């Protein structure tokens, strides 16, 4: 069984191998995510970033290797089991029910809630965090802007108060203003103690001075351990970077 080597690490992937059918995408991927940090997996299309998330969240089986969350082996657990342990996942793209109201879309975040779950209280808390959702609670979700729809997805994933939230390319298709609002939201989540693990295709100037940075290839690890790095990070080829920010907030200009 894989063990978690650091007390401030919430998630660890150890030599994970996974893929689709006969195609192997992850050939021994290993990295750790610091508790209370925003960690970004950066790389181009085809580098294996989304495959990492799907494997962690039990949507794709790990063929070998291990995944540890808060010191417990969660390799190949189901999404339902992972939700119960405090992991939520916001996939890439728009994942809403456009013909349903904003309120009903938000309620779907509690489909797997335990008995006695305070849905009304959690709904109020979610709409307090995202006032636009309260203002438009009765409208069809299809009437929301792209940024508002992404906020709805994040609010829905927050309904079960996760310890770790994984978000696949949250800024894709958003205007610069909405991207700034989104990153402010992610920073607020981190400041409330929620660990954020997200995917982006390119590094953002909003995030400065990473605490850790490690580079991995879809074929084999390019670096055995995370290392400090202050120079610009470039994503190319089949490589992806795993970059963590623990204390430095994004540029709010």
pLDDT per residue over 118-150, tens digit each? 888 889 988 888 888 999 999 999 999 888 888
Query: pLDDT (tens digit, 9 = 90+) per residue, 27-60?
Result: 888 888 999 888 888 877 777 889 999 999 999 9
Cα 186 to the center of its chain, rounded Å? 10
- Report the distance separating Cα 102 and Cα 107, nearest Å: 9
By three-state DSSP, how is residue 37 classified? coil
Mean pLDDT of 96-103: 93
Query: What is the Cα–Cα distance from 214 to 15, expressed in whole angstroms?
Result: 14
Q: What is the DSSP letter of 112?
A: T
Average pLDDT of the segment spanning 227-233: 37
Tell me the average pLDDT of the chain.
79
pLDDT at 235: 36
Q: Which residue has the higher pLDDT, 85 or 251?
A: 85
What secondary structure letter does DSSP report for 73?
Answer: E
Helix, strand, coil % (nearest 5) of the chain? 30, 25, 45
User: Which residue, among 223, 243, 245, 247, has the nearest Cα to 233 in the 3D structure?
Assistant: 243
The answer, yes or no, to whether residue 10 has pLDDT greater than 70, is yes
């Amino acid at each position: 069984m894989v063990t978690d080597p650091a007390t401030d690490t919430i998630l660890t992937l150890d030599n994970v191998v996974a893929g689709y059918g006969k195609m192997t995408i992850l050939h021994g991927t290993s990295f750790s995510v610091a508790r209370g940090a925003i960690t970004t997996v950066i790389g181009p299309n085809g580098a294996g970033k989304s495959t990492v998330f799907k494997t962690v969240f039990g949507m794709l089986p790990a063929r070998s290797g291990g995944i540890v969350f808060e010191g417990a082996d969660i390799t190949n657990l189901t999404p339902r089991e992972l939700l119960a342990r405090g992991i939520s996942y916001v996939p890439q793209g728009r994942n809403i029910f456009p013909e349903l109201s904003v309120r009903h879309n938000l309620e779907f975040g509690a489909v797997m809630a335990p008995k006695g779950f305070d849905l009304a209280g959690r709904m109020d808390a979610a709409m307090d965090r995202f006032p636009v959702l309260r203002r438009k609670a009765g409208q069809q979700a299809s009437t929301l802007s792209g940024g508002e729809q992404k906020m709805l997805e994040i609010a829905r994933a927050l309904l079960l108060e996760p310890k770790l939230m994984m978000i696949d390319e949250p800024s894709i298709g958003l205007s610069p203003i909405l991207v700034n609002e989104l990153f402010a939201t992610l920073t607020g989540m981190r400041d409330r103690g929620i660990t954020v693990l997200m995917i982006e295709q390119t590094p953002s100037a909003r995030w400065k001075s990473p605490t850790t940075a490690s580079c991995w290839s879809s074929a084999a690890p390019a670096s055995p351990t995370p290392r400090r790095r202050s120079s610009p990070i470039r994503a190319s080829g089949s490589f992806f970077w795993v970059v963590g920010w623990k204390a430095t907030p994004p540029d709010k200009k």
